[in-house]
Amino acid sequence: MSANGDRPIGFGRLTRKEDPRFIRGQGHFVDDVQLPGMLHGAVLRSPVAHARIVSIDASAALQHPKVHAVITGRDLETRGLAWMQTISADSQAVLATDKVRFQGQEVAFVVADDRYSARDALELIDVDYELLPAIVDPRRALDPDAPLIRDDKPGQTDNRIFDWESGDRAATDRVFACADVVVEQDLVFPRSHPAPMETCGAVAQFDQVSGKLTVWCTTQAPHAHRTVYAFLTGLPEHKIRVISPDVGGGFGNKVPVYPGYVCAIIAAIDTGRPVKWMEDRSENLMSTAFARDYAMRGAIAATGEGEILAVRVDVIADHGAFNATAQPTNYPAGFFHVFTGSYDIEAAHCHVRGVYTNKAPGGVAYACSFRIAEAVYLVERMVDCLACELGVDPAELRLANLIRADQFPYECKTGWVYDSGDYERTLRKALELADYDELRREQAAVRARGELMGIGVGFFTEAVGAGPRKHMNILGLGMNDGAALRVHPTGKAQLSISVQTQGQGHETTFAQIVAEELGIPPEDIDVVHGDTDVTPYGLGTYGSRSTPVSGAATALVARKVRDRARIVAAAMLEASPDDLEWEKGRWRVKGDPEKGATIQEIAMAARGSVELPAGVEGGLDAETVYDPPNLTFPYGAYICVVDIDPGTAKVRIRRFIAVDDCGTRINPMIIEGQVHGGLTDGVGIALMEQIAFDADGNCLGGSLMDYLIPTALEVPDWETDFTVTPSPHHPIGAKGIGESATVGSPPTIVNAVCDALRPFGVRHVDMPCTPSRVWHAMTEGMASTK
């Protein structure tokens, strides 16, 4: 370490390479792109949730002196562009032709000289709607008399999207029939929204001579978007360049292809001028990928002594008007079927029905790891309900049922093979950090005084790093990632990766992986990402997959370079490669450690005149594509302490203790930041955030005045710690950390709220646990216990 001051050459705390531009205001986001002659687009959106379009009159808008074009669904229909394929292989309207199916749906696209004029012109478009009844409650969507939302789809006769099961229904029923204790609970994981600080947008530029389309886009998956644009527009893929510049937060919101992007592309091709489209905050909240919206009926079976035997769940999944969820093909409910969580049980079964409603499309977003957020919420709430029923401590119940360290690799009852873990150690560490027994004593004391203190315990297992191509793909695209490493003659290097960053710090972390493998200081390694013209193909940054997949590709491509360097070093040192050994940054002769060559010397020689063995190419460049053999399974134990004001029912989080295990830790500073951010998501989801609708399908969460996100005043100073259980199959043992805390914290917080309300006989409160909901739970509890 000393060779580089206090900056590690490899893993360790390292301030970020991307920070200097941001702290100077020199970041480059999509809305910062300014091109000569650029026009501005704006989307006209439906004011109602369900209606037939009778007519659209854009003549007044076209008269506006600053308007260049108005595009409607009819215009697109004649070119076969009115509908596009979603990433779930459903169809979605780019611009509505027949009906609007949710409030905020895209109806027309205006192109004008500037953003204000484009907005003005939207007011000049006259759309005549014939109102239809809206379906808002997903449980109503399957009623036989429910209005048909997707009458555009041949053969679609109801509002069902899919009907899917996992696990063994018969075996689970048998276990439930014989169990001493069965607890059932209805749980709603409400619709929330990732709401990244930067909204979605694109700048499209089409070179009419070369036929090349360049799209600067707020995307988490630039390569996948390029392929989708090729499918959609018919442009050859090598003539499409997608650039994902600095992206102001993603959280899954920036995975799908949105109609606004497509309209900007079409408008750029049509007008011959670059077109920028940036949505506003209301458009972001009302029309882009929401998260969750799972109505679940859970059940848990156990022995009287507290051995958990089985879990089952029946889910109605609200996917909105179009099925646009990111899901790896074979799993329409994403990874929801890891709902057996961290417990060793005998049987499990889940049944998920996906339905259309007159709401915005989406479902998989907001750091949910393909619906593991919903799965963990279910099982962790059910375990707490069981603890309540049995009258046992929720931490003790978990300790008695967690998968034991000697059971890994562990195959759960729905077929997932957990790679590694020592769950008990992690939970015990969290209990110790929290001083759990003392907290329980304090709680007993303050309860006697009428104070409402709650202690929530949660444990989660994530499944990230999608994924093995034999099991997973999106639209037929295998979920693998590439990496290309070029080592320049002076020993400086450039790493190109297929994932990109929305704040996760890839430019730093991935340089550290190369540094660890090759001994080149991280500051000598540039990480190139987010530009399809200069990076290898891969599926993007979401589902905590960057470190598990691209991180592995990076380690392996560095090892390829190291292997080549060995051959070059052998030629330099006039030794056999077999007689060399690696010490970080240097190949040296075994038994003669003074004799060796540094990676920098080798890099120069590789491009120089050293005579290489026959068949060995010069240079130290290498490329690789990584197909993960399995997912990785990070996990953690969380404890939350809340105080509820008995006068206002407001929940205050006093402490939050998070002990995470993400395997090998590359940069602890960045890991801590990822955990902090996820915990804050959890506070928002558990206590504040909801995209609600009225009975007519009007969105009630369409601005940040209505959709409440935690500020610095709602969250505590986080208490974090860790254990390290490396993944056995990942080249550096790293498991990923991006979404652990968002997945693990909501049930922990709700467990704490329900624990605080135990004196009122309250077993469950649905999220978000707002003062109003908590107050109702308290008063209903009081009424029923009288």
The residues of the shown chain that bind other proteins, judged by CB under 8 A, are: 15-16, 18-29, 31-32, 34, 115-116, 194-199, 246-249, 251, 280-282, 502-505, 669-670, 672-673, 675-681, 703-705, 709, 711-713, 715, 717-718
Q: CB 655 → other proteins: shortest distance, Å?
A: 13
- Cis bond upstream, residue 577 (ω within 30): no
Q: CB 730 → other proteins: shortest distance, Å?
A: 23
Would you say 59 or 711 has its CB closer to other proteins? 711
Would you say 119 or 758 has its CB closer to other proteins? 119
Would you say 254 or 566 has its CB closer to other proteins? 254
Q: Which amino acid does the sequence have at 326?
A: A
Q: CB 65 → other proteins: shortest distance, Å?
A: 14
Closest by CA position to 76, among listed 58, 101, 94: 94
Would you say 90 or 660 has its CB closer to other proteins? 660
User: What whole-number distance in Å separates Cα of residue 632 and Cα of residue 741?
Assistant: 16
Q: Residues 6 or more apart from 512 whose CB is under 8 A from it?
A: 8, 10, 11, 12, 14, 522, 666, 667
Would you say 502 or 727 has its CB closer to other proteins? 502
Residue 126's CB: how many other CB atoms inside 10 A? Answer: 12
Distances in Å between the Cα of 83 and the Cα atoms of 268, 526, 764, 765, 767 are 18, 40, 42, 40, 35
Q: CB 416 → other proteins: shortest distance, Å?
A: 29
Contact 294, 220 (CB under 8 A): no
User: What whole-number distance in Å separates Cα of residue 758 and Cα of residue 695?
Assistant: 33
**Residues shown for the chain:** 786
Q: CB 282 → other proteins: shortest distance, Å?
A: 6
Would you say 251 or 626 has its CB closer to other proteins? 251
Q: CB 326 → other proteins: shortest distance, Å?
A: 19
Phi, psi values for residue 42, rounded to 5°: -145, 150
Q: CB 673 → other proteins: shortest distance, Å?
A: 5
Q: CB 22 → other proteins: shortest distance, Å?
A: 3
Q: CB 505 → other proteins: shortest distance, Å?
A: 7
Q: CB 670 → other proteins: shortest distance, Å?
A: 7
User: What whole-number distance in Å separates Cα of residue 296 and Cα of residue 313?
Assistant: 7
Chain-centroid distance, C-alpha 572: 47
Distances in Å between the Cα of 466 and the Cα atoms of 375, 632, 658 are 17, 9, 25
Closest by CA position to 599, among listed 7, 43, 9, 8: 9
Would you say 3 or 704 has its CB closer to other proteins? 704
Would you say 196 or 548 has its CB closer to other proteins? 196
Closest by CA position to 478, among listed 131, 223, 157: 223
Which helix (H) or strand (E) segment is 42 a member of?
strand 39-45
The DSSP symbol for 693 reads B
User: What whole-number distance in Å separates Cα of residue 377 and Cα of residue 356?
Assistant: 23
Q: 3-state class of 770 per DSSP? A: coil
Closest by CA position to 191, among listed 636, 619, 685, 608: 685
Q: Using alpha carbons only, give the angle 677, 681, 684 rounded to the nearest 5 degrees.
A: 140
Would you say 26 or 648 has its CB closer to other proteins? 26
Would you say 75 or 672 has its CB closer to other proteins? 672
Q: CB 85 → other proteins: shortest distance, Å?
A: 29
Would you say 582 or 718 has its CB closer to other proteins? 718
Residue 353's CB: how many other CB atoms inside 10 A? Answer: 21
294: left (phi over 0), alpha (psi -120 to 50) or beta: beta
Would you say 252 or 332 has its CB closer to other proteins? 252
Q: CB 711 → other proteins: shortest distance, Å?
A: 5
409-427 residues labelled b (16+ CB within 10 A) or e (exposed): ebebbbebebbbbbbbebb
Would you say 417 or 715 has its CB closer to other proteins? 715
E strands within 462-524?
473-474, 477-478, 481-487, 493-497
Q: CB 551 → other proteins: shortest distance, Å?
A: 18
- Cis bond upstream, residue 768 (ω within 30): yes
User: What whole-number distance in Å separates Cα of residue 334 and Cα of residue 364?
Assistant: 8
Q: Which two tokens stand for residue 37?
A: 């002659």
Q: CB 669 → other proteins: shortest distance, Å?
A: 5
Closest by CA position to 398, among listed 328, 468, 485, 300: 300
Would you say 247 or 301 has its CB closer to other proteins? 247
Q: What's the number of CA atoms in the CB half-sphere (13 Å) around residue 108? A: 26
Q: Partners of 201 in the beta sheet?
A: 278
Would you say 34 or 157 has its CB closer to other proteins? 34
Q: CB 532 → other proteins: shortest distance, Å?
A: 21
Would you say 314 or 714 has its CB closer to other proteins? 714
Q: CB 672 → other proteins: shortest distance, Å?
A: 7
Q: CB 709 → other proteins: shortest distance, Å?
A: 5
Would you say 419 or 681 has its CB closer to other proteins? 681
User: What whole-number distance in Å separates Cα of residue 747 and Cα of residue 457?
Assistant: 8
Sign of the Cα pseudo-torsion (89, 94, 100, 106, in order): positive
E strands within 491-605?
493-497, 525-528, 580-583, 586-589, 592-598
Q: CB 119 → other proteins: shortest distance, Å?
A: 11
Q: Find the distance separating the first CA and the last CA of the chain, reported in whole Å.
A: 67
Would you say 142 or 715 has its CB closer to other proteins? 715
